[in-house]
Amino acid sequence: MTGGVALAPGLIHHPGHLDAAAQAELGRELAGGLACAPFYTPRMPRTGRPFSVRMSNRGPLGWVSDADGYRYQLRHPETGAPWPEIPAVARAAWERLAADAPPPEACLVNLYAPGARMGLHQDRDEEDLDAPVLSLSLGAPALFRYGGTRRGDPTRSVRLEPGDALVIGGPSRLAFHGIDRILAEAADLLAEPAAPRPDFLPPGWRCNLTLRRVTRLGGTPAA
């Protein structure tokens, strides 16, 4: 494991952190949870406009968005079932890359069809902002945009490949970030993937996991 590449203070890119076997195992673990936590379409607070990204969660707390706002909750908004466990491959990556933080409680799973994107935002619904957010990418590459902690700050972009990990912590914990676009070029579609694709991830689609600590240690979990 390398020390990673600092894109900004606290924003550390680990290219290829998950090898093909780990990506395949993570895909299998995610697929196994889809029966009780299917992907669904979240909606923007107030307007109720649908996201282009589909979402699911793993772990005790799931991040959801609907007309009532953003929050963490214990159950799937459509099935009412508790979220499945955080995949072991993802927990192991947290132990390697966020070793000083308490264990993750939330793992948001974003599914991007070609053409899906995510606007610039901060991850700030957590009580514990000392722990980093850990992002893991599978499937098609994507153009990840990041800036400073103020919305108007200048931004840059980096290509996130399958298997890449990104630690969003320290002075960058509240950095604005988003996904400009999925890079499903023809060459990527034709090439034999390094890791076998799970059924939920067709060629040209991308999946991203973000693991987070939500509560402070010793605190009470959010409802």
Binding region for Mn ion (CB under 5 A): 123
With CB under 5 to 8 Å by kind, the binding choice for 179 among ligand SIN, Mn ion, none is: ligand SIN
Residue 144 bridge partners (DSSP): 158, 179
Does 208 interact with ligand SIN (rule: CB under 6 A)?
yes
Asked if 93 contacts 134 with a C-beta cutoff of 8 angstroms, the reply is yes
With CB under 5 to 8 Å by kind, the binding choice for 111 among Mn ion, ligand SIN, none is: none
Rounded to whole angstroms, the Cα distance separating 117 from 113 reads 9
Q: What is the smallest separation between the CB atom of 177 and ligand SIN, expressed in angstroms?
A: 6
- The token duo for 101 is 């933080």
Asked if 104 contacts 134 with a C-beta cutoff of 8 angstroms, the reply is yes
How many residues would you count in the chain?
223
With CB under 5 to 8 Å by kind, the binding choice for 57 among Mn ion, ligand SIN, none is: none
Please, what's the largest Cα pairwise distance for the chain? 50
Asked if 200 contacts 48 with a C-beta cutoff of 8 angstroms, the reply is no
Does 210 interact with ligand SIN (rule: CB under 6 A)?
yes
Q: Would you say 7 or 24 has its CB closer to Mn ion? A: 7
- ∠ CA 95-98-104, rounded to 5°: 75
Among 57, 110, 172, 215, binds ligand SIN (CB under 6 A): 110
Among 118, 134, 140, 167, binds ligand SIN (CB under 6 A): 118
The residues that touch ligand SIN, with contacts defined as CB under 6 A, are 108, 110, 118, 135, 144, 160, 177, 179, 208, 210
